[in-house]
A and B are shown apart, each in its own frame.
Chain A
Amino acid sequence: MDKNNDVDTLLDAMAAQLRTLISERKLTEPAMVGIHTGGVWVAERLHKKLGLDVPLGSLDISFYRDDFTRIGMNPQVRPSQLPFDIDNRHIILVDDVLHTGRTIRAALNELFDYGRPASIQLAVLVDRCGRELPIEANVVGRKMDLGNGEHVKLTGPEPLTLELQTPA
């Protein structure tokens, strides 16, 4: 595991970027929302580091996936929990790996079914190439150039580690 993959260091850097973002854009009382499963792990830590007042939310986007008719239902769907009113709220959406952008598309759709947020920022631990939609993150822990067939995976919840999977 090379030093750049040390998740704690990446989280510290993300927290610093988020603090700047929150003050520059004047995001008052922002609410953080993690996407199951890895995104929730990352969000839990960022939420603590930033000392946010609004309780952490979590999204399971299974019901909003665009490949449902191809791969069917994941039986381990957890209910989404948003313990705050979404309307006029500044949301910081958190995921572990930003790849195609489809997960974020689904998460945005789900968020809007709960109300009309004032704004949504996206923070991801890893930004890898391979985007299929015009979606970019505001805060990135680390950029990785991965080829087709290469995958990066966050394992957790304790400790959090990034695993690089290369085709054999």
Chain B
Amino acid sequence: MNHAELQMDAQGRLRHFLTIEGLSRQLVTDILDTAESFSGVTEQTVKKVPLLRGKTIVNLFFEASTRTRTTFELAAKRLSADVLNMNIGASSATKGETLLDTLRNLEAMHVDMFVVRHAESGAAHFIAQHVAPHVSVINGGDGRHAHPTQAMLDMFTIRRVKGPDFGRLRIAIVGDLLHSRVARSQIHALNILNAGEVRVVAPRTLIPADAASLGVHVYNNFEEGIRDVDVIMMLRLQRERMQGALLPSEHEYFRLFGLTEKRLALAKPDVTVMHPGPINRGVEMDSQVADGPHSVILAQVTHGIAVRMAVMSMAMGQKAQSGEGNA
């Protein structure tokens, strides 16, 4: 069963959230709308709603993360769920078996949802295939494959800033596409939302071979790539995932692909600059840009909570059979 089939139930609703690929535009829009409603929860005196009261959510992180884990944790807590954080260091070669053992142990503690981050592509999918029927799995990033909640919060941010019509937008994704699960999920989401033009901009060595098949325009020159764009989505240089000499040096990278105020002037005057964090200042972008008026980087973090609340509650709410509503 592929990811797209595994994550939906028979009624076409979310059961797990593993990938953006294969989602309908309606469902993507539903997630964004639901997130919009949840963003109001922060205005309450009591910043939580009782939706997932009594549910237990485990953040199963096999790879370091601060922002993603804490926003998942906050999202779960604002839904009144109980949260357990498990940071499991990258382990030995017997990963498959270890992973299942870990899972069985946690299931025995009656966990209702796993948020999984793993350095290997397909890890969340693997876990989703093996969990009990009542358990949901949310992909918090797997290898180079997908980071669907990040892409959703990026879409949420674009929609907030630019409005709901993605068709009129020209969007550039800039940086280390080769190692980026974020970019892959962003491209799927932008395609589903019918974005006007999606460009990927990077040195030849950091563009995956199948880039063109994803329906994007490839640019190897930064200046050309960001000319007249509405949105620039920067990626983090995945230093820890890089093996071998893909780049001459970080200094050289910044000289060619670093986002400076001067380069930003090539884009549309009202361009929006995004970054999934954490930023390598002076490598991917200048501090003046990161902290400047076009940047929505901190808004992205805030939006991440509402979007994760939406995905978690939608996946968790679809467990049961349909029944009568109350009046």
Contact = CB atoms under 8 A, between A and B. Distances in A.
Contacts of A99: 326-327
B326 A102 contact: yes
Contact of A67 (B38, B49, B50, B326): B326
Contacts, number: 83
Contacts of B36: 79
B33 A69 contact: no
B56 interface: no
A67 B317 contact: no
Contacts of A79: 36-37, 39-40
Contact of B327 (A60, A100, A109): A100
A71 B51 contact: no
Contacts of B66: none
B326 to A, nearest CB: 4
29 contacts: A63-B49, A63-B51, A65-B326, A66-B326, A67-B325, A68-B51, A69-B319, A69-B320, A70-B321, A70-B322, A70-B323, A71-B322, A71-B324, A71-B325, A72-B317, A72-B322, A73-B318, A79-B40, A99-B326, A100-B326, A100-B327, A102-B326, A102-B327, A103-B326, A112-B46, A113-B46, A114-B44, A114-B46, A151-B327
A63 B326 CA distance: 13
Contact of A71 (B37, B48, B323): B323
Interface in A104-163: 109-110, 112-115, 151
A146 B131 CA distance: 45
A77 B322 CA distance: 18
B33 A76 contact: yes
Nearest to B321: A70
A57 to B, nearest CB: 12
4 smallest beta-carbon distances between A and B, as pairs: A72-B317, A63-B49, A99-B327, A75-B30
Interface residues of A, number: 33
B13 interface: yes
Interface residues of B, number: 31
B314 interface: yes
Contacts of A70: 320-323
Interface of A: 60, 62-73, 75-81, 86, 97, 99-100, 102-103, 109-110, 112-115, 151
B308 to A, nearest CB: 14
Interface in B21-45: 30, 33-34, 36-41, 44-45
Interface centre among B38, B313, B320, B327 (most CB of A within 10 A): B327
B321 A60 contact: no
Given A109-B50, A112-B46, 20 more contacts: A60-B37, A62-B37, A63-B38, A63-B51, A63-B313, A66-B326, A68-B51, A71-B317, A72-B314, A72-B318, A72-B320, A72-B322, A75-B34, A77-B37, A86-B45, A99-B326, A102-B326, A114-B46, A115-B45, A151-B327
A21 B58 CA distance: 50
A138 to B, nearest CB: 19
Contacts of A112: 46
Contacts of B316: 69
A64 B13 contact: no
A71 B322 CA distance: 5
A72 B45 contact: no
Contacts of B34: 73, 75, 77
Nearest to A130: B327
Contacts of B326: 65-67, 99-100, 102-103
Nearest to A132: B326
B311 to A, nearest CB: 10
Interface in B176-214: none
Given A68-B51, A75-B30, A99-B327, A113 B45 contact: yes
